[in-house]
């Protein structure tokens, strides 16, 4: 459900429901602080990482991302234009965003993506331009993307077995994804992050295969807990916790902990003697909300301050109503000021409405 567009000329009121602030969470809400910095919320979290979805469409149909019955796509004229994307990115970077990740759908389906990357690369203060892709089109575009300024890549890969790849994605293409990973490494993308959503009874028996896969490849395999979104059939029975994943790997390998990024989502470990390493992302069982520095803009221009939050604010509508930069910043500031201390927990999330993952941005 979209939050109604507020009157842009008024000073935004930033409030939070005290019931959403658990006593044991270690964060204190400070409305005065929230009101003085555009990208800082009432809990002191400064948001320096912006994820922008470029397109809803994808050339795969992954079961944890897209409803089996398909979707009614947003009409193209309701998606952000290149100019709107760059204007919003410039605003966020001017306020302190240092990293932008381009997502989808499949972002490589966006026409002219190289030009978007090149324009982002010219924004003063932006240090990292990243992209999450399924890799199918990467071989055709990587040279141009690197020349344009793309600095970091995540490639999604949930199985190393061709038959399972086709079952999960409802398409063929494992060989192309593996080729894309090798190509990205050859182009110097290190660390190259490989995202793997783990589903009990489907690919959880490949944990050791992925661990062994890091021996000769400088990749960061990131095991991600199955998360609930509209239409993806989430159940607690299919969830494999990060703690269980780690324990199953540690039964066969020694894991050395690596330095922790206070704003990172993954806890990192390396098997001694391996070139690559492993990450465990416990979005459901061990939420990392206290260190969250991320914001999302969907392909249709809505700002989501939390991946699991229902509230959205349409920056697209404000742009097309002629909002000034100051008015856009007031709208953004108000949305961030309403961000809760943490999400509601996996069982509550599974019962709440949210977008399908493909329309939020991976």
Annotated binding site for [4Fe-4S] cluster, which residues? 58, 62, 65, 289, 292, 306
Instruction: For residue 58, give the DSSP letter.
Output: -
**Termini Cα distance of the chain:** 19
Residues annotated in a binding site: 51, 58, 62, 64-65, 101, 105, 132, 156, 193, 227, 289, 292, 294-296, 306
Q: Are 265 and 281 in contact (CB under 8 A)?
A: yes
Cα 219 to Cα 281: distance, rounded to the nearest angstrom:
16
Strands (E), 206-266: 219-225, 256-257
Query: What count of Cα atoms within 13 Å lies in the side-chain half-sphere of residue 339?
Result: 35
156 — phi, psi (to 5°)? Answer: -85, 130
Residues annotated in a binding site for S-adenosyl-L-methionine: 64, 105, 156, 227
Cα Rg, the chain, nearest whole Å: 20
Residue 100, beta-bridge partner list? 50, 129
Place of tokens 């019955």: 69
51 — phi, psi (to 5°)? Answer: -105, 125
Strand 219-225 relative to strand 277-281, pairing: parallel
Residues annotated in a binding site for GTP: 51, 101, 132, 193, 294-296
Q: For residue 132, give the nearest of 294, 330, 300 by alpha carbon.
A: 294
Q: What is the CB neighbour count within 10 angstroms for residue 128?
A: 14
Residues 6 or more apart in contact with residue 358 via CB below 8 angstroms: 56, 58, 65, 66, 71, 104, 105
Q: Are 92 and 61 in contact (CB under 8 A)?
A: no
């Amino acid at each position: 459900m979209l939050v109604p567009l507020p009157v842009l000329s008024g000073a935004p009121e930033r409030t939070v429901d005290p019931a959403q602030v658990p006593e044991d969470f270690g964060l204190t809400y400070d409305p005065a602080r929230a009101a003085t910095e555009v990208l800082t919320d009432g809990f002191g979290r400064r948001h320096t990482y912006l994820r922008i979805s470029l397109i809803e469409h994808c050339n795969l149909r992954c079961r944890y991302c897209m409803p089996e019955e398909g979707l009614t796509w947003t009409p193209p004229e309701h998606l952000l234009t290149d100019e709107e994307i760059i204007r919003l990115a410039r605003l966020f970077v001017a306020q302190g965003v240092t990293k932008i990740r381009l997502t989808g759908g499949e972002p490589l389906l966006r026409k002219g993506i190289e030009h978007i990357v090149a324009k982002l690369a010219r924004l003063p203060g932006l240090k990292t331009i990243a992209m999450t892709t399924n890799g199918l089109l990467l071989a055709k575009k990587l040279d141009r993307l690197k020349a344009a300024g793309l600095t970091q890549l995540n490639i999604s890969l949930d199985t190393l077995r061709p038959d399972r790849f086709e079952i999960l994605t409802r398409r063929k293409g494992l060989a192309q994804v593996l080729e894309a990973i090798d190509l990205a490494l050859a182009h110097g993308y290190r660390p190259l992050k490989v995202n793997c959503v783990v589903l009990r009874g489907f690919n959880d028996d490949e944990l050791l295969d992925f661990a062994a896969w890091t021996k000769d490849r400088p990749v960061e395999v990131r095991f991600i807990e199955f998360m609930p979104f509209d239409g993806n059939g989430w159940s607690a029975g299919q969830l494999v916790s990060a703690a269980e994943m780690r324990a199953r790997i540690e039964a066969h390998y020694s894991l050395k902990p690596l330095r922790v990024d206070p704003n990172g989502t993954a806890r990192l470990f390396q098997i001694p003697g391996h070139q690559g390493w492993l990450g465990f992302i416990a979005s459901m069982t061990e939420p990392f909300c206290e260190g969250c520095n991320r914001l999302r803009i969907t392909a249709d221009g809505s700002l989501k301050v939390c991946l699991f939050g229902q509230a959205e604010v349409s920056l697209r509508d404000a742009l097309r109503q002629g909002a000034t930069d100051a008015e856009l910043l007031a709208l953004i500031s108000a949305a961030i000021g309403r961000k809760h201390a943490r999400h509601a927990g996996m069982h509550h999330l599974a019962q709440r409405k949210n977008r399908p993952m493909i329309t939020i941005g991976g």
